[in-house]
Amino acid sequence: MKVLKEAVKRTEEDRKNLTETVSRMIEEVRCKKDEALKAYNLQFDGCTRETLQVSREEIQKAYSQLTGQEIEDLKKAAGNIRAFAKAQRETVKPLANFSPMPGIFLGHRILPVESCCCYVPGGNYPLYSTALMLIIPAKTAGVKRVAACSPVMKGTNAINPKTLVAMDIAGVDEIYAVGGAQAVAAFSYGTEEIPAVDMIVGPGNRFVTEAKRQCYGQVGIDFVAGPSEVMVLADGSGTPEVVAADLLAQSEHDPNAKGILVTTNEEFAEKVIKAVEKELSMLSTAEIAEKSWNTFGEVILADSEEEMADLANAYAPEHLEVNMKNAEEMAEKLYNYGSLFIGENTAEVFGDYASGTNHTLPTLRAARYTGGVWVGTFLKTCTYQSMTKEAMKELAPLVARLAKGEGLMGHAEAAEVREKK
Ligand SMILES: NC(=O)c1ccc[n+]([C@@H]2O[C@H](COP(=O)([O-])OP(=O)(O)OC[C@H]3O[C@@H](n4cnc5c(N)ncnc54)[C@H](O)[C@@H]3O)[C@@H](O)[C@H]2O)c1
Ligand SMILES: N[C@H](CO)Cc1c[nH]c[nH+]1
Ligand SMILES: [Zn+2]
């Protein structure tokens, strides 16, 4: 393996500063509630709203600011996302009357969380597609109260109209104009205006993801969905310009985003690097994309296809594209990724918007232990049991012995008192 373009490593100092900043912000929101939210809204986004909840009139006004085509496009994307979420819901089944021994009946029920907040990013770009990706699976799961929040367009008091319309089309119940770490703190602990929720989902920048990490426990979260990442595995049989475009599509999200090319073909790697430079010179979002590519972009020359697969599995990237002749075969060897895109036709950006899979995906190697947001994110698998008197009499002595072995005499008594009845 040879590294042709190296990424800058994040330092411990960066991480410590972020942790401290966010921790201070959470404390401020816990103590001063809406007053703190309004102060942060003003400081970071130039927002002077008195009421954070968005009214029905504001949503209606947003519809009037969109063209018919824009509304149709949102509905079409929503249709594919909803269809896939519904199909996935069908795969999650209750279990009833399972009997590990005669007279014992076990089962589980699939229950939605009662309330959630869907965080829709709005700092660098208004990511209205994220509204569809979060609210639709939450509603499909049966969450009763689905709130959503997003920062306002900088220097105004309004959330981007496309974001508001997307939230409405997705079926949201409440919308609040607030973003950043302060929004996560507000939905975790509650404020005068914002009732706390049971779970917060959605992607965001470093501040948002660190706040989710710190609030976890007080509130449920999906996972850490931070700055976007894409890794492309290429054998050189594809088109350098296509690979370059896919790397830049994620780099443009955030100066902290990451594009990685892993290839077995050095000449192809050089062509992709050149194509990235050329495309950057024409990209209107080059300011962010260039920062991200220069700082965190990586190009790795692997010795073999086996090594490519090993690198991908070790890296566990958010998005993994396989741009190879034997793409299906390679796909079989991959097991750590947020979402997989097989073959050159299958652009990662199709999944970002409209093919129907979810684009809220684990970053920073979290794909080692979780997949992306889906209808199951909002569902709890809750077990229950019942047993006959005969089964109880048979189980009680076993449980009493096990409890006594642990020194838990109260547990033993709770079993034996029934047996003696
Ligand atoms: N992993 C995924 O599934 C996924 C999906 C979509 C987007 N993303 C990522 O989401 C992120 C969106 O980030 P964004 O910044 O555009 O929007 P954002 O909504 O996450 O963050 C904007 C907010 O950050 C806060 N903020 C800005 N500067 C701050 C500072 N110096 N101190 C404290 N708070 C500050 C402000 O409150 C602002 O409203 C990108 O990194 C993108 O790559 C990830
Ligand atoms: N690529 C992002 C997930 O990392 C999702 C997104 C939203 N809009 C465009 N792309
Ligand atoms: Zn994207």
The answer to whether the beta carbons of residues 315 and 365 sit under 8 Å apart is: yes
Q: Is 130 in the pocket of ligand 2 (CB under 6 A)?
A: yes
In angstroms, rounded to a whole number, what is the distance separating the alpha carbons of residues 122 and 204?
9
Residue 80 sits at the vertex; the CA angle it makes with 75 and 81, to the nearest 5 degrees, is 95
From the CA of 363, the nearest ligand is 1
Supply the DSSP string of 18-69, one letter for each residue.
HHHHHHHHHHHHHHHTHHHHHHHHHHHH----S--BPPHHHHHHHHHTS-HH
Q: Is 255 in the pocket of ligand 1 (CB under 6 A)?
A: no
C-alpha dihedral over 288, 291, 293, 297, to 10 degrees? -130
The Cβ-side half-sphere exposure at 314, using a 13 Å CA radius, reads 7
In angstroms, rounded to a whole number, what is the distance separating the alpha carbons of residues 184 and 25?
10
Q: Is 180 in the pocket of ligand 1 (CB under 6 A)?
A: yes
The answer to whether the beta carbons of residues 135 and 370 sit under 8 Å apart is: no
Res 132 pLDDT > 80: yes
Average pLDDT, the chain: 97
Q: What is the pLDDT of residues 366-390, one digit of tens each?
A: 999 999 999 999 999 999 999 999 9
Confidence of residue 12 (pLDDT cuts 50, 70, 90): confident
Question: Would the pTM count as exceeding 0.95?
Answer: yes
In angstroms, rounded to a whole number, what is the distance separating the alpha carbons of residues 250 and 227?
9
State which ligand 1 atom lies nearest to the alpha carbon of 130: 6
Give the domains, in start order, of the chain with CATH numbers.
13-221 (3.40.50.1980), 227-354+362-371 (3.40.50.1980), 388-420 (no CATH)
State which ligand 1 atom lies nearest to the alpha carbon of 150: 19
Q: Is 37 in the pocket of ligand 1 (CB under 6 A)?
A: no
Supply the DSSP string of 95-164, one letter for each residue.
EEEE-SSTTEEEEEEEEE-SEEEEE---SSS--HHHHHHHHHHHHHHT-SEEEEEEPPSTTSSS--HHHH
State which ligand 1 atom lies nearest to the alpha carbon of 208: 20
Q: What is the mean pLDDT of residues 94-123?
A: 98
Res 11 pLDDT > 80: no
pLDDT of residue 36: 98
Q: Is 353 in the pocket of ligand 1 (CB under 6 A)?
A: no
The answer to whether the beta carbons of residues 180 and 40 sit under 8 Å apart is: yes
pLDDT of residue 226: 87
pLDDT of residue 14: 83
Indicate which residue's Cα is closest to atom 21 of ligand 1: 123
pLDDT of residue 48: 97
Confidence of residue 13 (pLDDT cuts 50, 70, 90): confident
Q: What is the mean pLDDT of residues 258-275?
A: 98
Angle between helices 389-405 and 409-420 (to 10 degrees): 160
Q: Which helix (H) or strand (E) holds 288?
A: helix 286-296
From the CA of 205, the nearest ligand is 1
In angstroms, rounded to a whole number, what is the distance separating the alpha carbons of residues 105 and 395?
13
CB atoms within 10 A of CB 304: 10
What lies within 8 Å, CB to CB, of 406 at 6+ separation is none
Supply the residues annotated as catalytic.
318-319
Judge if ipTM > 0.85.
yes
Q: Is 220 helix (H, G, I), strand (E, B) or coil?
A: strand
Res 158 pLDDT > 90: yes
**Among 120, 128, 130, residue to substitute to test ligand 2 (most atoms within 8 Å of Cβ):** 130
Q: Which helix (H) or strand (E) holds 230?
A: strand 229-234
Q: What is the mean pLDDT of residues 36-53?
A: 97
